[in-house]
Amino acid sequence: MTSIFRRLAALVRRRRLDRDLDDEIAFHLAMREQQYRDGGATEADARTAARRQFGNVTAVKERTRDVWLFGALETVAQDVRYALRTLRRSPAFAVVAVFTLAVGIGGNTAIFSLVDAIRLRAIPFGAADRLVTLWGTMQRAKAERRGTSYPDYLDWRAGTRSFDDLAAFDSQTVTLDTGDDPERVSGECVSASFFPLLSVAPARGRTFRADEDAIASPVRVVLLGDGLWKRRFGADPNIVGRSIVLNGQPYDVVGVMPPGFKGLSDRAEVWTPFARYAPAAAMAERGNRGFVVLGRLKRGVSLDAAQRDADAVARQLEQAYPKTNAKRGIEVSSIEDELFGGVRPALLTLMAAVAFVMLMACANVANLLLARSEARRRELAVRAAMGAGRGRLLRQLITEACVLTALGALGGIALARAAIPLLLAHNPIAFPSFVAPHIDARVAAFTIAVAGLCGIVIGLAPAWSSRGADLAASLKEAARGSDGRASRRIRGALVVVEVALAVVLLVGAGLTIQSVRRIAAVDPGFDPQSVLTLHVSIPAGRGLAEVREIVDRVGRVPGVSSAAFGSDVPLDGRAAATLYSVEGQPPPDPAQFPRTYAHTVSPDFFAALRIPFVAGRTFDDADVRPSSQAIIVSERIAKRFWPGQDPIGRRIKFGMLPNTNPWFSIVGVVGEVKYRGLPDNPTADPDVYAPFVDRRSQVALAVRTGLPPSSVVDAVRTAIRSVDRAIPIYGVATMGESMADQTAQSRFLMWLMGVFGAVALLLAVVGIYGVMSYLVAQRTREIGIRVALGASGRQILSLVVGNAVRLIAAGVAAGIAGALALQRLVASILFGVTATDGAAILAVTLLAIVALAACYLPARRAARVDPLIALRYE
């Protein structure tokens, strides 16, 4: 360690040490000269003899510096300085190479910053690696998530041994009334153990106590988010203990959560005790399921062990409660998978795409360095003749490549810093609020590692091409301007690699573009054009008459052609599933029991959304009453139970056959609607529609306009407020926006894959053109001889292009094979396309045409070579 510290100190005092060394050597030489002079030698003889006895002064200096300093670092520093000088002498080469590397490294840095931001360590909760969610599941064709019931949650909490604790939670939306403008606020119903599990403490006041979890005597207390406290209550320091109105009822504020905390939903601004999740009678029913459970694994317990523990509890409950828990299980999922699982496949695909771009950039620069190494073959041969070993030459070539990649890394970081805001601005995916991509130490370390690896790989290309080369032969080849077989083979291989990677990227870009086009062309089962959707919260004590008054006034707004209402509208995520029974059908297996999504709608709902009728009619005035027995079903129910028969007049009821629920008569059949997602519903369950006759507090409106929907939003709000100014309006969106949200990930992937595909095409064309131009320049003498011997321009053109065609064909074949191999990895993010799709074939054809065009220009130049000039070449 002492030696290392001395060497480090010597680096700082380098100039002083050099002066001291010069003085000491001069002193030794002077002393020896004096000795020779004292012996009778002349001045010149004394100087010569002293220097001969002392030895090579430069070698002594080098050996001394090796003792003082780090010899390897000195050599590297020399190589770096030499590399910078050579780059300064070739500015065009330097600019092209650095820019090419900057594009590749910058793309990798930008995407890695996004991937790095979406990681476990970014989750702003304590012990995030041990946080899990527990879902109730129902075994049908496959295990489907269903949520759980409160009795099941209590049994899970008591029966499992793998968790520190469990907490029930679910998202909610409440109406906050502060006396002026009512506002719909996102929130969460949570158990008292919720906040300790997340290791989150309030900034003011307290969280919920255990006794406030009692469903028999629920209390009205609330926690506020920091943003809501500041926005609606002016950061009142005395807010704790104050009463506020939520959903028309008073709640006592017991605390304020810290800034940035938005719960597990990442949008919550209020929290209420889980005891107020539903009426006590409903929460006591084991069959009433719907919420999720948060848990924290005990230290040392794996996710698999926790799953086995939960499975054992599920089997016990299935045996104890066969009516409600048959085929019911528990799924334990990490919090990281819950938050990021949906976007991870797309991000990994993008990471692979930018890695391909990086490889293409490396191949391009390696080809450029190969060309330079051929021009420098004489220089390297002279260095070897003067005693430089192969290791020394290899180190020099790799150092020069690393200098290039270091400059490319600096440019790449600059490009990434500019690209990240652009990436986020055009990103339609709503990442959690705590995801903030930026260039930090981790991303910078990744960039440095990528640049270093690329430098080694690029530097090895010219070194590999010169391996085993004979010194005399190299000098002869350099004199003739030839490039050697090894170099030709390596350059050809690099071209094949470039073309193959470009094919994979272009196929990927073509498939994602075609996939998005097919998603956009999917028939959702309704007409989304010129439809505005919104939700209103009807105050307690109001009824159906007020809803009808709202819709009537909205329908009279200028530009509105029709308006309807219901419990929900397509793609708003508010539909609920229920089991149903069919009259005259045998009881099905519990795992195959038919399930449907039920909606209550006004009679003109189908006309407003233009949902087509297959048979029957819509509801009439006689159907819109509490005792109504009319129902409309989607086409899938009719095809399943009455294929080829008239379903009108058939009867179904909700729940299983033995229950006392009323039967409903089918009065109409409508087409299938993509109600819950695009490009298809998450499950194949049908939909049923009952008349809207209840006093539901949350109502959805569908408004069809003859104008752009966004232009009538203010007028629609005014019409609703004219009925009652206390009615909160929320969830305002055009149907086009709702559909765009469903395709956000696919469009984001399409946009970036299109950019990467274009960059790949550009790099491939530049690489092929550069290689072919260099080959033509190297073979100018040969081409001149061929022309002088009678070769025609067409033959020369065929000679040059034929060689290029072989390389391009090999690259295309390898790329197609690679695209087919990678298809399975990206199948989950594509819709209705395969690697043999027309878009993929078009992308490959485009690359082949452009690549051939890049070959044609140097080939045409070769066909016009003047034999006299060619024979004088070099």
Per-residue pLDDT tens over the stretch 128-142 = 999 999 999 988 767
Domain range list for the chain: 2-69, 128-340, 344-520+744-871, 539-726
The 10 Å Cβ neighbour count of residue 644 is 6
Per-residue pLDDT tens over the stretch 337-346 = 888 877 777 7
According to the model, what pLDDT value does residue 582 have? 93
The pLDDT-based confidence of 478 (bands split at 50, 70, 90) is very low
The pLDDT-based confidence of 568 (bands split at 50, 70, 90) is very high
| Angle at 238 (CA atoms; ends 236, 244), nearest 5 degrees | 80
The pLDDT-based confidence of 479 (bands split at 50, 70, 90) is very low
Euclidean distance between CA atoms 609 and 565, whole angstroms: 11
Alpha-carbon separation of residue 244 from 175, 176, 253 (angstroms): 11, 8, 7
Contacts 24+ apart (CB under 8 A), 480-485: 480/781, 480/874, 481/778, 481/781, 481/873, 481/874, 482/778, 483/374, 483/778, 484/374, 484/377
Euclidean distance between CA atoms 37 and 655, whole angstroms: 121
Which residue's structure tokens are 């016990």? 316
According to the model, what pLDDT value does residue 78 have? 75
If you write DSSP's letter for every residue of 558-616 in order, what string do you get? TTEEEEEEES--TTSS--EEEEEEETTSPPPPGGG--EEEEEEE-TTHHHHHTPPEEEE
Per-residue pLDDT tens over the stretch 589-643 = 766 788 899 999 999 999 999 999 999 999 998 898 888 899 999 999 999 999 9
Q: Which residues pair with 166 in a beta bridge?
A: 295
Percent of the chain with pLDDT over 90: 37
According to the model, what pLDDT value does residue 640 have? 92
CB 414 within 8 A of CB 106: yes
Phi-psi region for residue 34, left (φ > 0), alpha (ψ -120 to 50) or beta? alpha
CB 168 within 8 A of CB 712: no
Q: What is the mean pLDDT of residues 417-437?
A: 81
Residue ranges of the alpha helices (H) in 321-385?
Answer: 322-325, 335-340, 344-375, 377-385
Euclidean distance between CA atoms 762 and 850, whole angstroms: 9
What is the average pLDDT value for the chain, to the nearest integer?
84
Lowest mean pLDDT among 70-74, 231-235, 253-257: 70-74
According to the model, what pLDDT value does residue 73 have? 62
The pLDDT-based confidence of 168 (bands split at 50, 70, 90) is very high
Euclidean distance between CA atoms 344 and 329, whole angstroms: 26
Euclidean distance between CA atoms 100 and 454, whole angstroms: 12
Q: What is the 3-state secondary structure (H, E, C) of 44-91?
A: HHHHHHHHHHHCCHHHHHHHHHHHHCCHHHHHHHHHHHHHHHHHHHCH
According to the model, what pLDDT value does residue 93 have? 79
Alpha-carbon separation of residue 616 from 489, 600, 646, 650, 667 (angstroms): 74, 18, 10, 12, 6
CB 456 within 8 A of CB 401: yes
253 vs 85, residue with greater confidence: 253
CB 436 within 8 A of CB 427: no
According to the model, what pLDDT value does residue 248 have? 84
Per-residue pLDDT tens over the stretch 348-397 = 788 888 888 888 888 888 877 777 766 566 666 666 666 666 677 777 87
According to the model, what pLDDT value does residue 473 have? 54
pLDDT at 204 over 90: yes
Q: What is the mean pLDDT of residues 174-182?
A: 83
Q: What is the mean pLDDT of residues 787-810?
A: 80
What 8-state DSSP symbol labels residue 756?
Answer: H
Residues in the chain: 874
465 vs 63, residue with greater confidence: 63
According to the model, what pLDDT value does residue 229 have? 96
Q: Which residues pair with 251 in a beta bridge?
A: 244
Euclidean distance between CA atoms 687 and 674, whole angstroms: 10
511 vs 840, residue with greater confidence: 511
According to the model, what pLDDT value does residue 333 have? 95
pLDDT at 71 over 60: no
According to the model, what pLDDT value does residue 771 have? 72
What residue type is 613 in one-letter code?
F
If you write DSSP's letter for every residue of 215-277 in order, what string do you get? TTS---EEEE-HHHHHHHHTT-TT-TT-EEEETTEEEEEEEEPPTT--TTTT---EEEEGGGS
Per-residue pLDDT tens over the stretch 682-729 = 888 999 999 998 777 789 999 999 999 999 999 999 999 898 887 889
| CA-based nearest residue to 101, from 488, 491, 452, 508 | 452
Percent of the chain with pLDDT over 70: 88
According to the model, what pLDDT value does residue 366 have? 84
Give residue 615's Cα distance to chain centre: 44
According to the model, what pLDDT value does residue 481 have? 47
Per-residue pLDDT tens over the stretch 415-426 = 999 888 887 777
The secondary structure element, H or E, covering residue 634 is strand 630-634
Lowest mean pLDDT among 86-95, 96-105, 121-130, 476-485: 476-485
Alpha-carbon separation of residue 261 from 125, 203, 426, 569, 595 (angstroms): 9, 10, 26, 31, 37
| Angle at 186 (CA atoms; ends 345, 551), nearest 5 degrees | 105
